[in-house]
Structure 1
Amino acid sequence: MADLRIQILASGSKGNALLVWTDNTCIMVDAGLSGKAITEKMKFSPVDPGDVDAILVSHEHIDHVRGIGVLSRRYNMPVYLSEGTLTSLPKSVGEIKNYRIFRRGRKFTVGDISVQPFSLSHDAEEPVGFVLSGDGKKIALCTDLGMVTELVKVHLRYCNLIVVEANHEVDLLMNGPYPWELKQRIRSRLGHLSNEESIALCREVYHCDLHAVCFAHLSEINNSPERVRSHINGLREDGRWKEVRLFIADQYEPTGVITI
C-alpha cells in the first residue's frame, strides 16, 4: 500500500500551513503565512512549492489565508474553498483567478487524494475541517472550532491520523491578559477548543487503527507545549494510547514528516 504523509509547516495564531501528500499528489491545507515565509519553510520539507497540486482553505481568517493569493499566482496552484470563504477573503489576499468551489459535506478529489470537507463551529463564514483519504488511509484536520459536534466525531472516528486543536488551557486564558470580550469569544461555541476538550475528543474517537495525533493551533499566550504534554501524559496512562504517536505542532518550526 502507498503511504500517506503529512508535515505541518506552521500552526498557531500567527499563521497556519500544512502539507499532505502521496507519491503522486501533494495538497497544501491553508497558507496563513506570507508566500515568502511558506517557501522558506518548505526548504525543510521533501516537497517543493512547484510540487503542490492544490491549496485547500478551511476558512477566511488571515492566519489561514495570508499567502494563498501569492502562492496561487506564482505557481498556478488551484485554490479550493467554499463560496462563503471566497466572498469573505481579506482584500490583502489579492486576486485569485484559479479557484474551485466546494460544498461542505460533498467529497471531491485532487489527484489520488479524496477530500471530504465537513462543517465546524467557528466565527467564520463557512468554516470546515477536512478528511483526506488515499489508498485506504485517512487523515483528519480539525482546528479552529469552538465545540465538538456529533458531525466532528463522526468524521474523526475512523481516521488513522488526526490533527486536532489544543488552543488554550482554561485557567491561563481566564486569568490572562486578554480583554473579557475576547476571553468569552475564545470560550464560546464559535471560538477554540481547550486542552481538556481536545483530549476528551481524542478519547472519544480512539480506535485500534489510530496511529498518530498531532495537537495544533496552540496559543502562545494561553497555552504551552508543557501544558499539552501534561495532558498527553494523562492520556498515555490509558494503555490503549501507548502505541499511538503523539505530536505537538509549533508556530515556528515545521514538524518532521509523519507517515501512515
Structure 2
Amino acid sequence: MRICLLASGSRGNALYLESDECRVLIDAGLPARELTRRLAGIGVRSEDLDALLVTHEHGDHCLGVGPLSRRYSLPVYLHHATRAALPNLGRIDDLREITDGEAFDLKDLRITPFPVTHDAVAPVGFLIETALGKIGVATDLGIATRLVRERLKGCRALVLEANHDPELLRDGPYPWPLKQRIRGHHGHLSNDDCAELLGEVVCDRLEAVFLAHLSHENNRPELAQAAVSTVLTERNLCAPRVVVGRQDEASVCLELTA
C-alpha cells in the first residue's frame, strides 16, 4: 500500500492511495494539469487512476474533479448532497453516489464514508480497509466526534487535520469572524486538537501519521509535528513516522508492507 499527500493546505488538497489492485485520489483540489504533473512525479499516470473520491464541495478539495474525470474517464464517488452543492461541476459520465456509513468496494479496497463536522453540506471522512490493514482519513472537521474516533481506531496509517496553532490564529491577520469560523465546531482542528485525537486512537500497529491541511498563515510545520510527536513519545511509540503535508509539492510516499 502506498500513500502520498500530493497537496495539502487551504489552496488545494489531494491524497493518493495505491494498493495491489487499485489507485485512487481522495479530493482533487488543484487544476487537472497540476495534479497530473504531481502524479507523474511519483510515477503514476492520471489515466491509470481507478476513481476520484470527494470529501466535500469546497473548491480546495474539488477544483480539478470535473476536468480530471472528463479528461481520463474516471468515476467520481461523492455524497448526493455534495453533488447538488456543485452546480458547476459539469458533466460526469460515471457518477457514483455514496452514503454515510455504507461501505462500498473498489477492487481490493473496502471504503466506508463517515460524517464529519465542517461547514459543508455533507462532509465525510473515509476508512479504507485493505489486506494490509486500515487507513483512516479525517480532514476538514471542527471537532472529532465519538464516531470519528471509533472509525479511526486500529489504523496502520492516519491522515489527520492539523490546521492551525491557536496562538498564531489568534494573533494573525484574519478578520475576527473568520477566526471564529476556523475555531468553531464546524471549522478546522488545531494542532492540539489533532494531537488529542491521535492520542485517543493511536495503537501499536500505527506506522504513519500524515498531517494535513496546515494553514500557511496560522501554522508552522514544526509546531504541528511537535504536537503529535509529544503524544507518540508519551505513549512510548517510536515507530510511527510523522509526515507533514505541503501545499507546493507532494509529500514523500510511504509504503505499508506485510
Q: Is the TM value for this pair above 0.5?
A: yes
Could you tell me which residue of structure 2 aligns to residue 211 of structure 1?
Answer: 207
Q: Hey, what does 1:189 align to over in structure 2?
A: 185
2:249 aligned partner:
253
Counterpart in the other structure of 2:69: 72
Match of 1:11 in 2: 8
Runs (4+) of structure 1 moved beyond 4 Å?
Answer: none
Q: Say which SS state the counterpart of residue 131 (structure 1) adopts.
A: strand
Once residues 101 and 198 of structure 1 are traced to their aligned partners in structure 2, the CA distance between those partners, rounded to angstroms, is 29
Question: Percent identical across equivalent pairs?
Answer: 42
**Partner Cα distance (1:206, 1:239) in 2:** 9
SS at match of 1:117: strand
Tell me, what secondary structure is at the counterpart of 1:246?
strand
**1:89-140 Cα distance to aligned partner (Å, 9 max, x none):** 152x322222000101000011111111000000000000001111141111
- Asked if 1 retains the 8 angstrom alpha-carbon contact of 2:225 and 2:242, the reply is no
Q: Tell me the distance in 2 between the aligned counterparts of 1:49 and 1:230.
A: 34
The question of 1:107 aligning with 2:103 is answered yes
CA distance in 1, matches of 2:58, 2:216: 18
1:150 is matched with 146
Code of the residue aligned with 1:49 in structure 2: it is: S
Asked whether the equivalents of residues 60 and 90 of structure 1 are also in contact (C-alpha less than 8 Å), the reply is no
List aligned pairs for 1:88-99, cutoff 5 A: 88-89=85-86, 91=88, 93-99=89-95
Summarize the Cα distance change of 1:140–1:236 in structure 2 as closer, same or farther, 3 Å threshold. closer
Unaligned runs of 5+ in 2: none
The code of the aligned residue for 2:69 comes to S
Structure 1: gaps (5+ residues): none
SS of corresponding position for 1:31: coil
Residue pairs, 1:159-170, within 5 angstroms: 159-170=155-166
Alignment of 1:6-155 (within 5 A): 6-89=3-86, 91=88, 93-155=89-151
Matched to 1:159, the amino acid is: C
Deviates more, 1:237-246 or 1:108-117: 237-246
Which SS does the other structure have where 2:223 is aligned? helix
Return closer, same or farther for 1:54/1:233 CA change in 2, 3 Å cut-off. Answer: closer
Are the counterparts in 2 of residues 116 and 130 from structure 1 also a CA contact under 8 Å? yes
Distance 2:112 2:196 in 1: 23
The question of whether the paired residues in 1 share the 8 Å contact of 2:158 and 2:209 is answered with yes
Counterpart secondary structure, 1:234: helix
The structure 1 residue matched to 2:176, chosen from 180, 183, 194, is 180
| Count of matched residue positions in the alignment of Structure 1 and Structure 2 | 256
Cα RMSD, aligned residues only: 1.1
Q: Following the alignment from structure 1 to structure 2, what is the Cα–Cα distance between the partners of residues 210 and 236?
A: 10
**Conserved in 1, the CA contact under 8 Å of 2:204 and 2:237?**
no
Secondary structure, counterpart of 2:238 in structure 1: helix
> Residue 206 and residue 233 in structure 1: after superposition, are their counterparts in 2 closer, same or farther (change >3 A)?
closer
